Amino acid sequence: MSEYVIIGNGTAAAGCIEGIRSIDSEGKITLISKEKYKVYSRPLISYLLEGKTDVERMKYRGEDFYEKNNVSFFPGISATKIDADKKEISLDNEEKISYDKICVSTGSSPFVPPFEGLDSVQKKFSFMTLDDALSLKEAINPESRVLIVGAGLIGLKCAEGIKDLVKEITVCDLADRILSSILDAECAGIMQKHLEENGIKFLLSDSATKFESNKAYMKSGKEVEFDVLVLAIGVRANISLVKNIEGEVNRGIVVNTKMETSVKDIYAAGDCSEGYDASIGGNRVLAILPNAYMQGFCAGVNMAGGEKEFSNAIPMNSIGFFGLHVMTAGCYDGECFEEKREGVLKRFFVKDNKLIGYMLIGETDRAGIYTSMIREKVPLDTVDFELLRKVATTFAFSNENRRKKFGGVV
Amino acid sequence: MKRVYVNEEWCLGCHLCEYNCAFANLGLKDMADALKGKKIFPRIHVEGDEKISYGVSCRHCEDPMCIKSCIAGAISKENGVVTIDRSKCVGCLTCVLVCPYGALAPSEEGTMQKCELCVKNSCGEPACVTGCPNKAIVYEERG
């Protein structure tokens, strides 16, 4: 009987369990979880503060998930070392466990640059985990002035989540625009305006250089007084377990399309891994939830002796703030086609007769049709692209393609 | 398993399926009271032009992208039917981002909804199928 060990307990781990069990119903699965909670939906922590969900409904899988899948769950335990020769994992409770196959799904950790005076700030938080969210909630009150460092997905979701619970929110970022990893200047400008209309203040092309208890000294010379500080600058993949045994790592743990690392019988999945991104034709960390699940599932199938490749991953994001939604996918390194109406901006990027990326703001209905065109590399001369730019509809596809999509089991 | 299929050749583009769907899922007695003068939120929508039209609803895929992508773990498969637990949904629209058929849309409350083959309401058989005047929408087993 095979012994599978999964290190980390996020979405990739859940995918891995389901992947293993799709092939092997007998093997022993051990799940090592640093957090004490059963798997929950990490991206929901801002919705928790906003009151749109609660800890119970945030559970990613049902209460009986581990029992049903016959998983030995080790909460509150970290793996400290892998011995690939002895096939043994050391845990921080001094125990050792043996393995046949490992999936490393250790996620990422907040990156905090060495700010001068950061130690003098009493109420400072990251915004990655359920515990982060719960402690932030404890620290804020209706009189709180909050400074968020980082105008990326995490910082802004945090801002939305606590908006009605605090007095004032200022978000600063070194970049000249918000959501700079997924939006161009014009799209970011539209969203920024919307966020400002909802009471969020911004200091862009600017960041804190020094802290003095409740005051941040900015690069621009400005000073910002705050009661609570949230650091959402960026994340770093947790790669040390594999790096320490000389497995190939870069920004993440390098995996092939089967999720195998360079070390035999060790797989990696989710935010800690650096896998194939079909939109750039190379490896990169794609820290998005769908990717984590699919990588985890793929790893699980292969660990259990099945055959699976995950070779069409692309970056894609759906994110909304105060009712305005943005969707993006693929890469933007192509000819741009634009569709602009009151309150709507859509940008499509085309290269070699294929849609390779898009940015949509204000109108996102049925955007998955565009996403599938990128993933399936649909030749644009086989569709009515002019119609598609106006509205996402399968009517723009050829009769044959439509028959395939709607005529049978897919 | 039985799924909903649409014959483009027979679809009149009358949009009745949209009304029957919206009505079936409201759980009200009188169709006029339920829908008249109101914006409807059906789980099937008609696409096309004056010449060709067809209704689109969830394909209940073998390997659904929406389930794998849902950030809340709110979508699952029950007896082959792709189902949303709307109490868990936060309306992030990631399912819309990934569904290749455009089969999910927000409900009136903002949480997502999709065709669940009328298994959760009292229809027994999909309302879009039973109400289609030209039998363009069928509920059958195909390979």
* A84-112 tens-digit pLDDT: 999 999 999 999 999 999 999 999 999 99
Co-location of A254 and A274 in the same domain: yes
CB contact under 8 A, B101 and A57: no
Co-location of A149 and A228 in the same domain: yes
Please give the structure tokens belonging to residue B138. Answer: 């069928």
Please give the structure tokens belonging to residue B61. Answer: 């895929």
CA distance B15 to A163: 41
> What percentage of chain A carries pLDDT values higher than 90?
97
Q: Is residue A317 part of a domain?
A: no
Strand partners for A110:
A235
Strand, coil or helix: what is A96?
Answer: strand
Give the pLDDT score at B121: 83
Our CA dihedral for A350, A356, A359, A363, rounded to 10 degrees, sits at: 90
Co-location of B52 and B65 in the same domain: no
Co-location of B51 and B67 in the same domain: no
In this structure, how many other beta carbons lie within 10 angstroms of the beta carbon of residue B108? 12
Domain with residue A366: its CATH number is: 3.30.390.30
Q: Is residue B91 part of a domain?
A: yes
Domain region containing B105: 60-114
> What percentage of chain A carries pLDDT values higher than 70?
100
Interface of A with B in 118-177 (CB under 8 A): none
Co-location of A365 and A338 in the same domain: yes
Q: Which of B96, B128, B139, B142 to mutate to test the interface with A (most CBs of A within 10 A)?
A: B96
Q: Please report residues of A whose CB lies closer than 8 A to that of B90.
A: 44, 47, 52-53
Q: How far is A109 from chain B (nearest CA, A)?
A: 19
Question: Closest Cα partner for A356 from A365, A364, A348?
Answer: A348
Co-location of A18 and A87 in the same domain: yes
Mean pLDDT of chain A: 97
CB contact under 8 A, A409 and B142: yes
Co-location of A293 and A375 in the same domain: no
Strand, coil or helix: what is A132?
Answer: helix
| DSSP characters over A166-215 | SSEEEEEESSSSTTTTT--HHHHHHHHHHHHHTTEEEEESB-EEEEETTE
Residue A354 has pLDDT above 80, yes or no: yes
Which segments of chain B have a pLDDT < 70?
none
CB contact under 8 A, B93 and A320: yes
Please give the structure tokens belonging to residue A98. Answer: 């043996």
Q: Residue B142 is nearest to which of A43, A325, A408, comparing CB atoms?
A: A408
DSSP letter assigned to residue A290: H
* Segment (H or E) for A386: helix A385-390
Contacts of B32 by beta carbon, 8 Å cutoff, 6+ apart: none
Co-location of A207 and A253 in the same domain: no
Co-location of A10 and A94 in the same domain: yes
Residue of B nearest to A16 (CA): B68
Strand, coil or helix: what is A298?
Answer: helix
Co-location of A128 and A182 in the same domain: yes
CB contact under 8 A, A43 and B92: yes
Residue A9 has pLDDT above 80, yes or no: yes
Co-location of B108 and B65 in the same domain: yes
Q: Please report residues of B whose CB lies closer than 8 A to that of A12.
A: none
Please, which pLDDT band fits residue A132 given cuts at 50, 70 and 90? very high
Q: Please report residues of A whose CB lies closer than 8 A to that of B5.
A: 406-407
Q: How far is B81 from chain A (nearest CA, A)?
A: 13
Q: How far is A119 from chain B (nearest CA, A)?
A: 34
Co-location of B79 and B110 in the same domain: yes
Residue of B nearest to A41 (CA): B72
Q: Please report residues of B whose CB lies closer than 8 A to that of A392.
A: 102
Q: Is residue B121 part of a domain?
A: no
CA distance A28 to A266: 16
CA distance A21 to A391: 40
Domain with residue A16: its CATH number is: 3.50.50.60
Q: Is residue A135 part of a domain?
A: yes
Q: Is residue A44 part of a domain?
A: no
Per-residue model confidence as pLDDT tens digits over A168-227: 999 999 999 999 999 999 999 999 999 999 999 999 999 899 999 999 999 999 999 999
Q: Is residue A49 part of a domain?
A: no
Q: Is residue A402 part of a domain?
A: yes
- Distance, first Cα to last Cα, chain B: 9
Q: What is the mean pLDDT of residues A41-51?
A: 98
Q: Residue B68 is nearest to which of A61, A294, A394, comparing CB atoms?
A: A294
Give the pLDDT score at A32: 98
ipTM score for this prediction? 0.96
| Interface size between A and B, measured as CB pairs under 8 A | 117
Please answer whether residues A168 and A307 qualify as being in contact, where contact means their C-beta atoms are separated by less than 8 angstroms.
no
Co-location of B110 and B140 in the same domain: no
Co-location of A207 and A150 in the same domain: yes
Dihedral sign from CA coordinates of A166, B73, A289, B44: negative
Q: How far is A46 from chain B (nearest CA, A)?
A: 10
Alpha-helical regions (H) of A258-367? 289-303
Interface of A with B in 267-296 (CB under 8 A): 289-290, 293-294
Give the pLDDT score at B99: 98
Per-residue model confidence as pLDDT tens digits over A144-164: 999 999 999 999 999 999 999
Give the pLDDT score at B27: 85
Co-location of A262 and A359 in the same domain: no
Residue of A nearest to B98 (CA): A368
CB contact under 8 A, A59 and B73: yes
DSSP letter assigned to residue A39: P
Q: How many domains does chain B have?
A: 2
| Angle subtended at Cα B14 by Cα B10 and Cα B18, rounded to the nearest 5 degrees | 105
Please give the structure tokens belonging to residue A161. Answer: 């989540």
Of the three residues A184, A202, A233, the one that is the final residue of a domain is A233
Please answer whether residues A318 and A327 qualify as being in contact, where contact means their C-beta atoms are separated by less than 8 angstroms.
yes
Question: Could you tell me the CA-to-CA distances from A333 to A143, A279, A388, A394 in Å, in that order?
Answer: 45, 10, 20, 25
Co-location of A30 and A137 in the same domain: no
Q: Is residue A51 part of a domain?
A: no
Domain region containing A131: 118-233
What φ, ψ does residue A314 adopt, rounded to 5°? -140, 155
Whether chain A has a CB inside 8 Å of the CB on B71: the answer is yes
Co-location of B50 and B64 in the same domain: no
Q: Is residue B123 part of a domain?
A: no
CB contact under 8 A, A408 and B6: no
Whether chain B has a CB inside 8 Å of the CB on A188: the answer is no
Q: Is residue A308 part of a domain?
A: no
Residue A114 has pLDDT above 80, yes or no: yes
Q: Is residue B44 part of a domain?
A: yes
Instruction: Tell the residue number behind the tokens 């400008």, with chain if given.
Output: A189
Dihedral sign from CA coordinates of A261, A267, A269, A272: negative
Strand, coil or helix: what is A95?
Answer: coil
Please answer whether residues A294 and A310 qualify as being in contact, where contact means their C-beta atoms are separated by less than 8 angstroms.
yes
Q: Is residue A150 part of a domain?
A: yes
Rg (CA), chain B: 15
Beta-strand pair A253-254/A273-277: parallel
Q: Is residue B99 part of a domain?
A: yes
Question: Closest Cα partner for A66 from A3, A18, A8, A131?
Answer: A18
Q: How many domains does chain A have?
A: 3
CA distance B58 to B44: 8
CB contact under 8 A, B102 and A393: yes
Q: Please report residues of B whose CB lies closer than 8 A to that of A409.
A: 3, 59, 62, 142-143
CA distance A49 to A136: 9
